[in-house]
Structure 1
Amino acid sequence: MNIFQDWPEPIVRVQSLSESNLQAIPNRYVKPLSQRPNLPSHNHHNPHNTTIPIIDLGLLHTDDITLQAKTLDEISKACRERGFFQVVNHGMCPLLMDRAKETWREFFHLPLELKNMHANSPKTYEGYGSRLGVEKGAILDWSDYYYLHYHPSSLKDYTKWPPLPLHCREILEDYCKEMVKLCENLMKILSRNLGLQEDILQNAFGGKEEAGGCLRVNYYPKCPQPELTLGLSPHSDPGGLTILLPYEQVAGLQVRGSDDAWITVEPAPYALIVNIGDQIQMLSNSIYRSVEHRVIVSPANERLSLAFFYNPKGNVPIEPLKELVTVDSPALYSSTTYDMFRQFIRTQGPRSKSHIEELKSPR
């Protein structure tokens, strides 16, 4: 699928730059003026710190039908209006969440030569990476990452998973397994909220056996000039659903609000952040929204987050679900596949919402 064998320039690990105590960041990380973050100053209240809704999934299992309906309604509203919400009582053990974060923090603090044994290439992206997109001379983001496939099992390759720190692979396995369970559960809820049979979205992904699950662990080192760069440029997620385990100590994720202002997400303790990806926006015929987000970096603290992506099988046609297409609401998108869609972001890197806009059906 991918024509690129290697990166266009030698890879520089952002963590190594950060640890070399440089005072100014290299030019290739400096964003154009219009894209630089307007960092909230700590002296006055930031009006855009209204956080995204926190939804208690545990209420779906109560006997109280009113509470159940209210919770479903909150999820529906979040998917339609904001594209983002936090979930608590999601069924994942807090200890496992802590262990997963700690294990990856240890990984990123291993000696560089051990990490570089897992260096990735644009061919699969699996492994230890420091850039997205293969454009020569592109302005890069201030982050390193580790990317791996978990599901379907035909794509799972343990040799691509780090053997260190100890027990890393077992913790990863447990973590990803829980993530798939949560995603399958959310897919049912999202289907029901569209007024459809609960397996419709899952089937559109190619079914449970064929849907894709992968993990991207983001590492954002300290940055001496956070006002000039970003940890991750603005983008909407190209896949289906994303579940983010954030680093609670330091906020960094920002979501584009309805007034175009960037809202800083304040993570609730042991909450997971859920967001809609482009594939679900297309399948729902834009009833659900995938929303642009970005990551700011800190001068004083490193940050780490685990993003689990739940995606359609690569070659299944993705287009608005026929149940949602009517004379009054015609299909907004032409058919594509996730493979074709992903090829775009892997070539160009994160580019706001430009790709899904290109797929809009001509009126």
Structure 2
Amino acid sequence: MKAVARSIMELSAEIKRRNKDVIRSSGYEEPTQFNPYFEALGLYDMASAQAVDAFCTQLDASPHQRETIKMYAQAVHNLTMDIACKIVEGMGLVRVSFEGWPCQLKINKYNFTPETIDSCGVRIHSDLGFLTILQDDESVGGLEIMDKSGAFVAVEPLPGSLLVNLRDIATVWSNGRICNVKHRVVCKEARTRISIASFMLGPKEETVEAPMELVDSSHPRLFVPFTYQYYRNLRSSIKLVAGEVLDLLRTDS
């Protein structure tokens, strides 16, 4: 999958632009003013065989590339659901299902050069959905997470590993028991950096709110119920991407 990701990110911009959005930022992302060294290809729902086929067709994927992407998407989707279920079990919950929550696949490319050393490839942000599974570049570092003191800590590449990161929706769903993680990518060396991220987003129609078992007198509800799409739109409209929008949705705000 690493080899396939690298090869399709080397396609022409004309071909990559065929990868259209299903929802905002779910297709091809070109470099922007805010993230000038970053671009990405996206597959909105990797659990859908039809969506995976469409993604491969958009990019003129070879039979080998297509089969590799299919196998990877299925395996990582299964892993995503397994981790989510273990979170539920760890909190002592039953009858909680994440079926129908879309899982997005995103292939990221950072076009680092000697002039971009110490620049941010992606600015400080927290992720929108429930959880992220990241296959980082094993050769090129740069991922940094913010600790509780506000300092950034480097996450060095660990060959053969996947990194799990919890997101904004997990904070709301867990009634504050799970913390979203602010992070960024910094250019450490003048090399192309490729990573593959899988995002468990949020429910398509149901509201996002903590299960009743996680709300009591000692743990009052922290956030008002809202839909995932409402949260996406709100975060996009006010252009705050590091979890600040959650403060606007607190029950006491």
Q: TM-score, normalised by structure 1?
A: 0.63
Distance, in Å, in 2 between the alignment partners of 1:247 and 1:236 is: 19
Contact 1:233 1:351 in 2 (8 A): no
The 1-side partners of 2:166 and 2:131 are apart by 5
Q: Does 2:42 correspond to 1:147?
A: yes
- In the alignment, which residue of structure 1 is the partner of 2:143? 253
Residue in structure 1 matching 2:15, options 114, 121, 143: 114
In the aligned structure 2, how far is the partner of 1:246 from the partner of 1:318?
Answer: 29
Q: CA deviation at 1:164?
A: 2.7
Q: What residue in structure 2 maps to residue 55 of structure 1? A: none
1:36-115 alignment runs, 5 A limit:
100-115=1-16
Of 18, 25, 30, the match for 1:130: 30
Does residue 187 of the first structure (1) align with residue 87 of the second (2)?
Answer: no
User: 1: CA distance between counterparts of 2:34 and 2:9?
Assistant: 23
Deviation, structure 1 residue 230 = 1.3
- For residue 102 of structure 1, what is the amino acid of its counterpart? A
Out of 319, 322, 336, the position equivalent to 2:209 is: 319
**2:96 is equivalent to residue 196 of structure 1:** no
Cα distance in structure 1, aligned partners of 2:63 and 2:120: 32
User: Greater shift after overlay, 333-342 or 120-129?
Assistant: 120-129
Residue 101 of structure 2 aligns with an amino acid whose one-letter code is A
Instruction: Look up the equivalent residue of 2:14 and give its one-letter code.
Output: E
Deviation at 1:236, TM superposition (A): 1.0
* Closer/same/farther in 2, CA of residues 121 and 152 from structure 1, 3 Å limit: closer
Q: Secondary structure at the match of 1:294?
A: strand
Q: Secondary structure at the match of 2:196?
A: strand
Q: How many residues align?
A: 251
Counterparts in 2 of 1:312 and 1:351: CA distance versus 1, 3 Å: closer
Corresponding residue for residue 180 of structure 2: 290
Q: For structure 2, which runs of at least 5 residues remain unmatched after alignment?
A: none
| Greater relative contact order (CA < 8 Å, ≥ 6 in sequence) | 1
Cα distance between partner residues in 2 of 1:104 and 1:348: 32
Amino acid at match of 1:159: A
1:141 deviates by 4.1
Secondary structure of the 2:194 match is strand
Q: Is the Cα–Cα contact under 8 Å of residues 131 and 165 in structure 2 kept in the other structure?
A: yes
Question: Corresponding residue for 2:248?
Answer: 358
Normalising by structure 2, we get a TM-score of 0.89
Secondary structure of 2:148's aligned partner: coil
Residue pair 1:254, 1:265 contacting (<8 A) in 2 also:
yes
| Candidates 156, 176, 180, aligned match of 2:51 | 156
* Displacement after TM superposition at 1:110 (Å): 2.5
Q: Could you tell me how far 1:111 is from its partner in structure 2? A: 3.3
Q: Secondary structure at the match of 1:216?
A: strand
